[in-house]
Structure 1
């Protein structure tokens, strides 16, 4: 075991604060990483405040991790000390169920082990601690190669926001000649616009904020529709091949389902607190599909990173120091970030 420093919440009401803990030394299949950057995901805030239930305290969040390999186990050949490596939302899975055998670890039947707030099989009764820390030790299967041509801080959010949007766009075969809608321009939405544009689709952004129109076009949107404008929405009726909804607040999903062509799909990746109310006639009338998607498997995440390297895609970020995390959470709740916070972990010292 070796000592690490990080930031943790001790209860749902406590602010994140300095925290010292121990990590395991690398086993034969493990990789130890000194963390350089960690993205800030809305899931971090939900978890530390126990808004989804089941948080184990103390909680060290963070699952968008970029760093430098410091030690590797004897069976590790894919990385060596000094390499740049990444860790996303998962650090383990059963490896045996049908989903895992297909490379879909995110749909592991018993459940994947989260990078934080998951059951740590190496410590009886312990929980995994995430990337708001100096180091992390992870099984080699769940460690990713980071392309050399991309800004490392901007890569960090790709390990959650990037793969969350890439996976459904790839699965539903988005490409040239298709009209694709992205709902919402936040951490997820801005990545959806960039990736769909790079895939060759004609991209329309839907937003409630007219002030985001210029940003959307700079990111790759061909068109911007203000969703509060009923006439503008009606003009888009039954013209979309695919829609990716990234909004995590309550909204009228039927307004977007009605924009799909027959037999086409809307995929929900934003997770509103309350269930969305789907009018069955929104899907029955044109044989439309309403689906969901969760991150991606390890192989697909590596594929996403390589795709982003080819198209020079990173997240638009604001860098913060570790002790600014509570301010960042407050701003995130107000959607006051363009478009993802990333912690410079050198500030942890």
Structure 2
């Protein structure tokens, strides 16, 4: 169905896209259905997943691809079958924009684990059309995966929560983080900073930031950490052995000190991995888990319901991410800066024309 607006955005053409070589061009969105919504994008968070995809780090990408799965804006077209969104609503789409909606996982409200999961970008819908992300003017997606953004959060703040925020919120909430618990967050980056903010808001007895150096200690304490562990310091693991109920790891590296992280867990403690590597994580002895009855697991984003609950929680607890808003026109430079680790702590691209129109 024809629209009065064009779908155009920053496209990765090949593996060199992260080197400042994305190209602005028009593309064909998914085939319209009456279950869909078109979003006029005002903001899109920049996620590490964008870089992995642009350079085919997780496997061959479907070039040309338009990345960005922390999409916030306003609904400009809503399908007849959609009941929870109307034109003009502030809405967002995270890392998922499709699933079968019929399997055991979908029926249980865990659409993110559906074997037919469609990513918001670099994916294909059942009709064969491609999914394109938010480094763009507009986004079309199945409305089931679009959530309303509540008053109390700006679109710029909400955007990075839609992937980065939920990626850490879900494993905390679903693994018992709260009063009476001591929680560690490995990595003080885009994901890790959310982990510290959420753990504090959830009322954990102790919130421990775990990073390689002390360079981000002051920031971490301001985010809500009650303690900071620098793994470059000798004996850090022994000094803090059996002190944490839950660890959420936002980093991924074949050289990460995984066995030492396990030492920090108390009896029956849990280690949840959310950082997604391009390579393997280190091998470890099973006795690191067996000896204390500990568990190692993983967690993947969250369902639309999870995301809505998280946004409401953020408003209730006055949680605001630390973001740097950058112009969409500078997306190539932003990707380079992100790859060089300069974000403090989450870049958000702003479609300046659309944002200005919203304020007018």
Q: Note whether the superposition's TM-score is higher than 0.5.
A: yes
Q: Name 2:184's counterpart in structure 1.
A: 181
The alpha carbon displacement at 1:323 in A equals: 3.1
Q: Which runs of 5+ in 1 are unaligned?
A: none
How far apart are the structure 1 equivalents of 2:97 and 2:253?
28
The alpha carbon displacement at 1:298 in A equals: 1.4
Structure 1 segment 53-92 matched on structure 2, within 5 A: 53-92=59-98
The alpha carbon displacement at 1:87 in A equals: 0.4
How far apart are the structure 2 equivalents of 1:186 and 1:299?
25
23-32 or 33-42, which moves further after superposition? 23-32
With over 3 angstroms needed to count, the CA separation of the structure-2 counterparts of 1:283 and 1:293, relative to structure 1, is same
Q: Name 2:211's counterpart in structure 1.
A: 207
Q: Name 2:169's counterpart in structure 1.
A: 166
Q: Name 1:257's counterpart in structure 2.
A: 262
Q: Does 1:146 align with 2:149?
A: yes
Q: Name 2:358's counterpart in structure 1.
A: none
How far apart are the structure 2 equivalents of 1:274 and 1:119?
24
Runs of 4+ displaced beyond 6 Å: none
Encode CA deviations 1:209-252: one digit per residue, 9 max, x unaligned.
21211100110000111111133332110111111111133301
Structure 1 segment 13-162 matched on structure 2, within 5 A: 13-14=16-17, 15-23=21-29, 26-108=32-114, 110-122=115-127, 124=128, 126-162=129-165
How far apart are the structure 2 equivalents of 1:152 and 1:99?
30
How far apart are the structure 2 equivalents of 1:133 and 1:272?
26
Residue among 271, 282, 299 paired with 2:276: 271
Encode CA deviations 1:264-312: one digit per residue, 9 max, x unaligned.
1010111233322222121111111111111111111111111111112
Aligned-CA RMSD value: 1.7
Q: Name 2:291's counterpart in structure 1.
A: 285
Tell me the TM-score normalised to structure 2 length: 0.92
The alpha carbon displacement at 1:337 in A equals: 1.0
How far apart are the structure 1 equivalents of 2:29 and 2:352?
19
How far apart are the structure 1 equivalents of 2:154 and 2:216?
24
The alpha carbon displacement at 1:321 in A equals: 1.6
CA contact (8 A) 2:164 2:191 kept: yes
The alpha carbon displacement at 1:64 in A equals: 0.2
Q: Which runs of 5+ in 2 are unaligned?
A: 356-360
Residue 157 of structure 1: SS of its match in structure 2? helix
CA contact (8 A) 2:69 2:120 kept: yes
The alpha carbon displacement at 1:24 in A equals: 5.3
Tell me the TM-score normalised to structure 1 length: 0.95
The alpha carbon displacement at 1:348 in A equals: 8.7
Pairs aligned (count)? 346
Q: Name 1:8's counterpart in structure 2.
A: 11
CA contact (8 A) 2:248 2:272 kept: yes
How far apart are the structure 2 equivalents of 1:347 and 1:156?
17
The alpha carbon displacement at 1:330 in A equals: 2.2
How far apart are the structure 1 equivalents of 2:329 and 2:117?
30
